[in-house]
Amino acid sequence: MKEYDVIVIGAGSTGGVIAARLAEDVSRKILLLEAGPDFPNEENRLPLFAVSGEHSWLVPGLPEFDWNFEDRDISGRRGGRSIILPRGRLVGGSSMVNSTIAARPAPFDFNRWTEVNKQLWSWQNLLPFFIKIETDRNFGNDPIHGDNGPIIIQRYDESSWAPVNNVFAEACSSMGINYAPDLNGLNTHADVYGPMPHNRFKEIRQGTLVTYLRSARKLQNLKILGNALVDRILFEKYSAKGVTWLDTQGVQHKAYASLIVVSAGVYNSPAILQRSGIGPASLLSSLGIKVISDLPVGIGLTDHPGCAWFFRGNSIGSTTGRLFAANWRGPTVDGIEPEWQTHPFPVDQEEGICGLWTYLCRQESFGTVRIESTDPFFPPIIDHNYLNQESDFKKFKNAWEACRELLNQKPFVNCDAKWLDPIVDLKEYIYANLASAHHQSGTCKMGNDPKRSVVGPNLKLHGMEGLIIADSSIFPDTVMHNTNLTCYVIGEVVSSQIKNYDYNK
């Protein structure tokens, strides 16, 4: 029955890494399934989306390569306003349609992860993997950085910045905030500002399509299959044996392997598991799905909720030059972690309008992902439950007060910078302008207790053989920065573990 040694579901930031690394062993047959299209000739005919880079934020994703997910405001706190949740539906996943910010997590982020396993998920153990994935063009000679990895990382020279970034940096300096030339350094995660690291080189996004998978697709033992929408996982008793997937015509296909790796992302991984009979028993039973394992799949969704404060100033609204170039990581509150971080962005050159995009580094509100149909073409119901906790509002209030102080600094005063509209009711403003920073995680949490988690420290599904979950859905707790680099690292960690897997089980 077995056709492959490993089937990887999802060719994004984690799945692409896993498939590429496992294929290095030419004795193993690997199948990589991706719901969106593949671009096998990308090296010779580079798709336009690969070079649209940081300006992608100007539109809600790339519609032809997007899942069209949204948070529909189930609680009604936003007055019914939906929040668009762009996710990449193509080989390369969201790593090929994001804004290319390459921020490492802070060491203290993994203090919570070590509660699951002190060795495997400690900062000390993960640092070599962060080094392995990167070629840092600015700090590659530093012991904590890499100079020979597949992902090229760099910071933009200040001479190339969009004007608002330079004024922003000068204002941060006026406030006495420490300057950090390497925001991926060890002690640069709070009360600092500096140039934002990007995984973008010669205008090309360094996502898995053009890095890990570019070289791996030449291997005969790796099959990359695009436009293959996975419906569910096939089980024999308590062991995963294969998957069913649908082509663009809706025709069902099956494939079998000794090991199944689900790397479909924070929204799709729980949806696939739930359709397969893995998830909250009450939900599955209500949809007529046979319960194979009652686990909290889809519970614990978290994100970095964000809000933009808009202002107008003279000669700083130009949208030419590098965006997302400078970053201020807020002060610590009751510990070593900042509550928020912010960076400027131009909006309208003619009107001189700019904004300060500010997001919470860790929220106290948690949400859910749940299917409402057994049809894989139906999107799951996504409820982030944003701002359910008053403490999240308090963090936004602190961020707003800090941003007001920033705009009162001389560099902004010299530009005659003024807030676009007076904010009379802060809570009302945040509800009206709240958005996602697109750093979602936690829907298939890693942990030791099957009542509170979905996978164990080795990312194997609790109580199951032959099934691993590997993407941001397994985060036991969020990280304070962008999640993309951490997803690459999870791919490296998992592939190094799988290489010793007994495929003959």
Domains delineated in the chain: 1-42+66-71+88-142+207-297+443-505 (3.50.50.60), 72-87+143-205+302-436 (3.30.560.10)
In angstroms, the CA 458 to CA 446 distance is 9
- Contact of 271 with 325, CB cutoff 8 Å: no
Phi, psi of 440 (to 5 degrees): -75, 150
Confidence (pLDDT) at 322: 87
Percent of the chain whose pLDDT exceeds 90? 89
pLDDT for 60 equals 46
0.95 cut: is pTM over it? yes
Per-residue pLDDT at 52: 65
Q: Per residue in 384-401, pLDDT tens?
A: 999 999 999 999 999 999
Q: What are the tens digits of pLDDT across the range 143-171?
A: 999 999 999 999 999 999 999 999 999 99
* Partner residues linked to 135 by β-bridges: 147, 152
**Positive or negative torsion for Cα 332, 335, 339, 344:** positive
CB atoms within 10 A of CB 336: 13
**Residues 469/455, Cβ–Cβ less than 8 Å:** yes
Tell me what pLDDT residue 110 has.
94
Residue 394: alpha-carbon gap to chain centroid: 25
Contacts of residue 93, defined as CB under 8 A and 6 or more positions apart, other chains included, come to 10, 11, 12, 13, 15, 16, 34, 87, 207, 208, 265
User: What CA–CA distance (Å, rounded) separates 397 from 405?
Assistant: 13
- Looking at residue 260, its pLDDT comes to 98
